Amino acid sequence: MLLNTLTPGAALAILRGAAAALYALAEALLLVYSSHHYLTLWRCWRRRRTRPEDLAAAERGAAALPSVTVQLPVYNERRVVARLIDAAAALDWPADRLEIQVLDDSDDETRAIAAAAVARHRARGAHIVHLHREVRAGYKAGALAAGLERARGEWLAVFDADFIPAPGFLRRAARHFGDPDVGMVQGRWAHLNRDRSLLTAAQATMLDAHFLLQHEARASRRLFFNFNGSAGVWRRACIEDAGGWSHDTLTEDLDLSYRAQLRGWRFAFDPGLEAPAELPAEVAALASQQRRWARGSIQTARKLLPAIMRSALPLPVKLEALIHLTNNVGYPLMLVLALLPLLPLPVLLGPPGAPTALAPVLQATVVLLGVVPVMAFLAAGQLRAGRRGRVVVRDVLAGLALGAGLSLNNARAVLDGLRPEVGEWERTPKTGDGTPAPGPPRYRASRGLAGPGELVLALYFAGLAALAAGLGELRAVPFVALLAAGYGMVGWGALRDRLATGRATAARE
C-alpha cells in the first residue's frame, strides 16, 4: 500500500535500497564462512603434532585387544559388495575377537552376492553374519542400530560399501583408544578413482582439505568434529551413552557425533589411518550425495544447536560448532549474491546502489575474504596430501568451480532442511571403480533437479563475462567466468549422464 502512494522514482529507490541491504547482509555472512578458512589454516599451522612416543605408549598389546564388530551397511551394491566383504575379512585382528556384520537391506541381486561371500569366508573360519531386514526402516541409521543390538564387540568399525580398508586399519586405530575418553577414531578417506576425471579430481581436492586440515585443526584444539559415516571406529560405550543411532536427520553420523561430544567424549583423527573409497563418477550421483549431506547438516543444526548454545562448553567450541553445522548456508547466500543485484554485473562490480568509489573496496574485500581463503584452503590440503606442481593449480580451480556449480543443488537442500519432514535417504550409487572386472550394469542415480537450472545459470554467467569484457571491466571476468565454468560443469555433466543412461537402457532393451 505504501508503494502505491510513492512516485515511481521513490518506489524504485526503496526497492533498490532493500535489495542493497539484503545483498550486504548476504555478502557479510558469506564472507564470515569463507574467511573462517583462514582460521583453520592458522590452527593447522599452530597445531601441536602428537609425538610418536605418545601413540606408542597408548597402544595396547595383542593380549589386551578387545572384541571388535565390523559393520558393513549396504543397500543394492552388487558391484562392490563382494570386495567390501573380502576386505573386512582380511582385517588384521585376533580371529576370536573379530566379528563381521553385513547389514544388508538390499532388494536386488546384491543379497545373493553378499550371502555367497559371507558363506565363503565363514567356511574359512571367519565370524561373519549376513543380516537382512525386509523393511528398511530408518535407512542406514536403522541398519546400524539393528546390528548394534546383536553385536558382540566392545568397539564397532563402520565401512560403507565402496571402501576397501587395509588389513592394518584396526591395529592403527587401536592406538588411540588407550585414552579412555576417546569415543571414536576417524580415518582419512583416500581415493580409488581420483584421476578418473576432472570431476573426481575436484572432489578429491575438497575432501583432502576437509580431512587433512579441518579435521586435524578441530581435533588438535579439542573442538567438535564428526564421524564421516565410514572408515571410523567407535567405542560401544560412547554410542550407547549418547543415545544410539537416530534417523530423525539424514546425517545420522553427524548427529551422533555431536550428541556424543556433548556428553563429554573426545574424538580422535588420524591422517595416517587411510581407507580408499570410490568418488562419485557421475554428476547425478554426486548431486544426490551432496543433497543428503547439505539437508542433513541443517537438520542436525536445528536439532542440536540450541543444546550446544545452552551448554557450559567454552565459547570457541560453541562458535566452531555453529560454523560447522550451518556451513552449507553459504550455498543459498552465494545464489543471492549472484542473482539479486539489479545491475548487470554481480558481486565484483559492487552491490546495487553502492557508491562508485566504494566498488573497488568491496571488490577487494570479496577477493581477500571470499575467494583467497577458499583457494588457500584447497591448495594447502593438496600440499598436505603430498601433491605438487601444476596439477595442484588445476585441481584447486576445479574444486572452486565444482563448489560454485553445486550451489543451486545444495541451496535447495538447505531450504529443504528447514522443513519438518526428514526426507528420503538418497543412496549414492557405486560404479565399482578400482575393480578390475566390469561387473554387472550400473545403478542409476536419483536424477533430482540437477542439470537444467545449472545450464541456464552457466549461459547467464557466460553472457555476463562477455559483457564485462566488452565494457572493459576485466577485473570481474575471472570470477564470473568461474561461476559459468562451475555451473557448466555440473549442468553439462548431468545432461551427459542422462544421455549415457538413456543409450545404455536402449541397448539393453
Which domains occur in the chain, in start order? 23-44+328-434+442-508 (no CATH), 67-281 (3.90.550.10)
Output 481 or 338, whichever has higher pLDDT.
481
Residue 483 Cα to chain centre, angstroms? 21
Q: How confident is the model at residue 52 (pLDDT cuts 50, 70, 90)?
A: very low
Across the range 253-275, mean pLDDT stands at: 97
- Lowest average pLDDT, out of 2-11, 74-83, 141-150, 225-234, goes to 2-11
SS3 content of the chain, % helix, strand, coil (to 5): 60, 10, 30
Which candidate in 105, 160, 208, 270 is catalytic?
A: 105
Query: Is 105 assigned a catalytic role?
Result: yes
Q: Answer whether residue 58 shows pLDDT above 70.
A: no
Tens digit of pLDDT for each residue in 105-153?
999 999 999 999 999 999 999 999 999 998 899 999 999 999 999 999 9
Marked catalytic residue, from 104, 160, 253, 433 = 253
> How far apart, in whole angstroms, are the C-alpha atoms of residue 124 and residue 158?
22
CB 415 within 8 A of CB 503: no
> What would the pLDDT profile of 454-495 be if each residue is shown by its tens digit?
999 999 899 988 988 888 877 778 888 888 999 999 999 888
338 in helix, strand or coil?
helix
Q: Which one-letter amino acid corresponds to residue 32? A: V
The C-alpha cell at 20 is 542493497
Sign of CA dihedral 350, 356, 358, 364: positive
Q: What is the mean pLDDT of the chain?
A: 87
Angle at 456 between CA 454 and CA 458, to 5 degrees: 65
- Whether residue 445 is predicted with pLDDT greater than 60 in this model: the reply is no
Strand (E) positions, 40-104? 68-74, 98-104
Instruction: Please indicate whether residue 248 is annotated as part of the active site.
Output: no
Rg (CA), the chain: 24
Q: Which one, of 324, 467, 378, 469, lies nearest residue 32 by Cα?
A: 324
Three-state SS at 267: strand
The whole-angstrom separation of Cα 165 and Cα 232 is 10
Please report the pLDDT score of residue 379 as a whole number: 97
Percent of the chain with pLDDT over 70: 84
Residue 53 has a pLDDT of 41
Q: Assign 346 a pLDDT band (cuts: 50, 70, 90).
A: very low
CB under 8 Å, gap of 24 or more: what pairs does 497-506 form? 497/282, 497/283, 497/284, 497/445, 498/284, 498/447, 498/451, 501/444, 504/441, 504/442
pLDDT at 14: 73
DSSP at 156? E
- Residue 185's pLDDT is 98
The model carries a pTM of 0.90
SS3 249: coil
Confidence of residue 26 (pLDDT cuts 50, 70, 90): confident
Q: Is the pLDDT of residue 254 over 60?
A: yes
Q: Cβ contacts of residue 226 below 8 Å, gap of 6+?
A: 186, 253, 254, 257, 258, 267, 324
Q: Give the separation between CA 297 and CA 339, rounded to whole angstroms.
A: 25
In single-letter form, the type of residue at position 506 comes to A
Out of 218-227, 260-269, 340-349, which region has the weakest mean confidence (pLDDT)?
340-349
**pLDDT above 90 coverage of the chain, percent:** 68
- Residue 94 and residue 127 in contact, taking contact as beta carbons nearer than 8 Å: no
CA 73, CA 142: separation in Å to the nearest integer? 10
Q: Write down the residue that cell numbers 573386512 correspond to.
A: 88
Stretch 346-371: mean pLDDT: 62
Q: What is the pLDDT of residue 242?
A: 98
pLDDT of res. 366: 74
Does 509 have pLDDT greater than 70?
Answer: no
Higher-confidence residue of 499 and 152: namely 152
Nearest to 406 by CA among 324, 500, 485: 485
CB atoms within 10 A of CB 483: 25
Report residue 27's pLDDT band, with 50, 70 and 90 as the boundaries.
Answer: confident
Q: What is the pLDDT of residue 140?
A: 97
Residue 71 bridge partners (DSSP): 101, 158
Q: How far apart are CA 84 and CA 103, in angstroms?
A: 12
Please report the beta strands in 193-255, taking only residues with DSSP state E, as ranges in sequence order: 232-235
Residue type, 332: P
Judge contact between 234 and 261, C-beta under 8 A.
Answer: no
What does DSSP assign to residue 109?
A: T
